[in-house]
Amino acid sequence: MNQRKLANRSVAEIGLGCMNVSHAYGPPSDPAAAKALFYAALDLGIDHFDTAALYGFGRNEALVGEFLHPFRERFFLASKCGMTGVNGTRVIDGRPETLKQTCKEALTRLRTDVIDLYYLHRWDKKVPIEESVGGLADLVREGHIRSIGLSEVSAETLRKAHAVHPIAAVQSEYSLWTRNPEIALLSACEELDVALVAFSPLARGFLANGVSDPRDFIEKDIRRTMPRFNPPHFGRNRKLLDAFNRVAWEAGCTPAQLALAWLLAKAPHVLPIVGTTSIAHLEEDVAASRVRLSADTLEAVERLINAETVSGPRYAAETLAEIDTEVTPHAG
């Protein structure tokens, strides 16, 4: 794959978000299936693996550590703190002492001495961002982590954090149907030489034609709580796909590859991470690195799917209250 800069390293421009094998969209993968997926990713040239203490309440980090520690020198390892499971409940806690304890536990689960990029998974609004970043800066000085990242934050918060310690990356949802980073974060990252790691680049499967009927989601699928996958919004959004699929066909690629190639074309400091439990889907996603879109195709897809044509907010109101990203207006 082509390479891009991440925390002063050169990595493949498409990385693997490991969450799906433990968390959020279905029952956890069998460990053997998770192992096969991770090894397939390495074989495909992926050298950026992203996990978090939250995913599976530590189980995801443990799987990454169990299966990938023999190849630790071959890949860039990112994980997250500040949002974890406590007694079976998701908790946001950005106090420095909590972040340091979470890191200690993560290092054990990941079977490594150092994490290349450690994100604050959510800004705990009860704790000044400067204090949380100060705690992470201590971990850099102590050699436990190499660089600091933030997740789901605004350009303003990024600037405050960056004044305390250089921020290497911001992870934010970014895709054709979630354009919040374009308000201010994308340009702020460019100005500060910060990578923008884009999660859910395929709109949680929607842009890959992976959602035919949200009523089929299992009970604990997090998309059940997301307005865009519920009436009346899903019906409106579903109508966008026929034209989107035609643009992909005309461009000579799959819809998933079109979505990823569009994102890669937005800016050289954008690095998408894909999440899947399917090796076939992973192979398809990685092939997007070879897709080149014409100016006409980019214009067509921008005109088709954007903040004005997508119906519904990306999260329910209670979740939106937890995060710090700028908010785009939305249709519906």
> Distance between CA 157 and CA 5 in Å, rounded?
22
119 noted as active-site residue: no
Spot the catalytic one: 55, 118, 119, 315: 55
Residue 48 · residue 75 · CB < 8 Å:
yes
Q: How many residues does the chain have?
A: 332
- Look at strands 9-12 and 3-6 and give their pairing: antiparallel
Measured in whole angstroms, how far is the alpha carbon of residue 150 from the centre of its chain? 11
What sign has the CA pseudo-torsion 46, 140, 324, 127? positive
Q: 55, 90 in Cβ contact below 8 A?
A: no
Question: Where are any strands of DSSP class E within 233-294?
Answer: 270-274
Distance CA 256, CA 44 (A): 17
Q: Any idea which residues carry the catalytic annotation?
A: 55
